[in-house]
Amino acid sequence: MLYKLPEETLILQDTVKRFVDNELIPLERKFPERPNSYELPEDVFLELTAKVHEMGLTARETPEDAGGAGLGTLDNCIVTEQVHRSTAGCSVFSATFASMLYELGTEEQKERYLVPSVKGEFHGASAFSEPGAGGDLAGIQTTIEKTDDGWVINGNKCWIFKAKTARFILVLTRLKGTERHDGLQWVIVDSDAPGFKVGREQKMIHGQNTYELFFDNCIVDEKQLLGKQGQAWSSGTDYLFSGRIQIAARALGIADRCLEMAKEYAKIRHTFGKPLSSRQAIQWMIADSALELHSCRLLVYDTALRAQEGEKVYTETAMAKLSATEMVAKVVDRAMQIHGAAGLSDESILERCYRDVRPMRIYEGTSEALRSMIARDLLK
């Protein structure tokens, strides 16, 4: 158990916190109708990404020898937590999927996709979920098979972030004729690949909309296959589940900001001649939020450190994601309750946070699926 963050991690935490306070939080009022940085004016977005580059945090999860920041899982969580204390500009720190390319890619694939992604020349997207397979990734039905024309993909994906602007997509497929964990295959699909199409936009309540993807006899070359043939589950499992730690860290940042807002408002808002902070009901809301946030933070940090040291923490990541996403929902709800009508209006960021946190209990494994996973592991 890590009870105190290392000195270098504390410096990183403070650096990112100051950047968020000085650069991102002011954007919430300046561009209230633009909830994420991909919707910011291009000049603002480019200015922010340039500053992130100066901080040395571009492609933060990518090893240094590939041009990234080389942050470990714990430091990456610390950055994610601080960045998501703001509801604006978060995507200037977005992932590049470079870690997967670094781990499994050939030298040609790295040169074509990894290096430009790290430099910020373009970005990719990842496509796992399907209409009949979300939390159960072993149940995907999108197939890939070898033909005389090359490798052919058929199927469709849904709920894919950033697909409209992505230069390439990391697609999880299965070799035709295989089932469950056997035969899963990663493949890199260029946005202009024949037979590939981005479908309708799927509106999401938190503003970061997703897209359907269609593969109709989509032909890719042998060199587009990523990793060992048919072994995506064993060679890329860490990537599949690492997103859960980041979602948990994101929940910590949102909860931390909302708790701070609740405390400040409780001290300045008066009812019947007394501040809200003097009311026991309000005190208990704040105390419960602080207690739950602190407990989740310890769980997330511990899981991240174990992952950083090479442990297989699939159960722990499920616990962290489950606990943190359910915790943040309660913290945001209490903060809104303390603010009253002000919490429901767009005069504060609370209503936006309320929308932001609701999907967290669904994507990257629903709360129900994670509970089942945890129980199965414990009962083996």
**Residues annotated catalytic, as ranges:** 364
**Cα 137 from Cα 369, distance rounded (Å):** 11
Token pair for 156: 């469709």
Kindly report the length of the chain: 380
Token pair for 263: 């405390």
Q: Rounded to the nearest 5°, which phi and psi values hold at 143? A: -105, 160
Q: 151 CB contacts (<8 Å, ≥6 apart)?
A: 144, 145, 187, 219, 220, 221, 222, 224, 225
Integer angstrom CA distances of residue 11 from 14, 16, 17, 301: 5, 9, 10, 16
CA angle at 124 for the pair 79 and 322, rounded to the nearest 5°:
50
CB atoms within 10 A of CB 32: 14
Token pair for 299: 């769980």
Q: Which residues pair with 155 in a beta bridge?
A: 215
Q: Of the candidates 29, 26, 48, which has an alpha carbon nearest to the alpha carbon of residue 37?
A: 48
